[in-house]
């Protein structure tokens, strides 16, 4: 398989197939009828609460105003695809990775397949990546890849917020996302050397892609945390070993493959933030 080969997802006679590099992979039956998984879902499953993900599919999820604002801020920062699959606030069934909507979303994202990127440029933004683990396709959407000497060097995840106090730290879900991108890129033989989370306040007169050099300089200076501008901070993430990462990932896949039920991990802090706190049987924040 060549890196330039673009994965394509299709449904035929109610079976999902992934065509990639001249090979056809039959996608195993997954819970809730999903066709593929996404890294952001895995980050919630493994670093927040698996039962929340279960309820997202059985009850629907809440799209809050902050999520909508974050989507459009990402588009402003990186020139992304906010208009093609826009969100509206309120309760919403999860369709992004199910049925024909899931096929459309997946194949649309493959327009920006990482194998088509020009790594001689200083950076590439919003390139789709893919891993197949235990037969399950897992889609990753890293925000930025910074290049050096014609090769991928750093993977960067952008997180936006309206709360200034959140700029100074990286939470476990944010760290997991960029760690997954790091490992998936290396599985594709795109051997990035580091993982960075950039956190910024929304609505600033600042665009990340205009200040990539400031991230590069911080890394070259050996800095792990730096304020890049007023309301913009970067954090270097310590990446989990590949073996530990894969062990956790395989545990997560056991749920999707039907080997076990969803495991709740309630706490007062997490439950208070959860969209399902009023009806989850394990909620500590009713």
Q: What is the structure's pLDDT at 83? A: 45
Mean pLDDT, the chain, as a whole number?
92
For the record, the structure tokens of 158 come out as 């952008």
**Lowest-confidence pick of 10-19, 94-103, 132-141, 179-188:** 94-103
Q: What is the structure's pLDDT at 181? A: 99
- At residue 41, the 3 state secondary structure works out as helix
Domains and CATH numbers, the chain: 8-273 (3.90.320)
**Residue 252 DSSP symbol:** H
CA distances from 188 to 82, 107, 115, 177, 260 (A): 27, 19, 9, 17, 30
What average pLDDT does the segment 31-56 reach?
Answer: 97
Tell me, letter by letter, the H, E, C secondary structure of 153-209. Answer: EEEEEEEEECCHHHHHCCCHHHHHHHHHHHHHHHHCCCCCCEEEEEEEECCCCCCHH
What average pLDDT does the segment 96-116 reach?
Answer: 95
Q: What's this model's pTM, rounded to 2 decimal places?
A: 0.93
What average pLDDT does the segment 132-159 reach?
Answer: 97
Tell me, rounded to whole angstroms, the distance of Cα 265 from its chain centroid. Answer: 21
Q: What is the pLDDT of residues 247-256, one digit of tens each?
A: 999 999 999 9
pLDDT-derived band at 1 (thresholds 50, 70, 90) equals: low
What average pLDDT does the segment 126-136 reach?
Answer: 97
CA distance 26 to 41: 22
Nearest to 114 by CA among 40, 11, 189: 189
Q: What is the pLDDT of residues 172-202, one digit of tens each?
A: 999 999 999 999 999 999 999 999 999 999 9
Q: What is the structure's pLDDT at 71? A: 78
pLDDT-derived band at 84 (thresholds 50, 70, 90) equals: very low
Task: Give me the sheet containing 136-140, strands edge to edge.
Answer: 37-38, 136-140, 129-133
Tell me what percent of the residues of the chain surpass a pLDDT of 70: 93
With tokens 């395989």, the residue in question is 250
95 pLDDT exceeds 70? no
pLDDT-derived band at 85 (thresholds 50, 70, 90) equals: very low
Angle, helix 39-47 to helix 50-59, in steps of 10 degrees: 130
What average pLDDT does the segment 219-237 reach?
Answer: 96
Nearest to 159 by CA among 149, 150, 169: 169
Contact assessment for residue 161 and residue 201, using Cβ atoms and an 8 Å cutoff = yes
């Amino acid at each position: 398989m060549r890196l330039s080969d673009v994965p394509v997802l299709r449904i035929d006679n109610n079976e999902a197939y992934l065509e990639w590099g001249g090979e056809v992979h039959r996608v195993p039956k997954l819970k809730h009828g999903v066709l593929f998984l996404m890294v952001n879902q895995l980050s919630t499953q493994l670093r927040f609460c698996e039962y929340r993900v279960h309820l997202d599919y059985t009850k629907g999820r809440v799209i809050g105003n902050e999520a909508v604002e974050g989507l459009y801020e990402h588009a402003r920062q990186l020139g992304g695809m906010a208009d093609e699959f826009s969100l509206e606030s309120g309760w919403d069934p999860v369709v992004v990775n199910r049925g024909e909507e899931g096929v459309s979303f997946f194949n649309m994202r493959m327009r920006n397949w990482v194998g088509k990127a020009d790594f001689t440029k200083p950076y590439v933004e919003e390139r789709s990546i893919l891993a197949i683990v235990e037969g399950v396709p897992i889609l990753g959407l890293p925000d930025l890849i910074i290049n050096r000497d014609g090769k991928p060097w750093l993977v960067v995840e952008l997180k936006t917020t309206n709360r200034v106090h959140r700029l100074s730290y990286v939470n476990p879900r944010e760290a997991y996302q960029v760690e997954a991108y790091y490992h998936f890129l290396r599985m594709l033989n795109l051997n990035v050397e580091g993982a960075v989370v950039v956190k910024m306040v929304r609505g600033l007169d600042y665009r990340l892609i205009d200040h990539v050099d400031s991230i590069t300089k911080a890394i070259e200076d050996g800095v792990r945390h730096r304020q890049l501008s007023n309301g913009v901070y970067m954090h270097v993430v310590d990446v989990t070993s590949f073996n530990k990462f894969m062990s956790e990932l395989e545990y997560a896949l056991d749920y999707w493959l039907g080997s076990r039920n969803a495991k709740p991990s309630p706490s007062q802090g997490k439950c208070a933030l959860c969209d399902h706190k009023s009806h989850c049987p394990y909620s500590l924040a009713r």
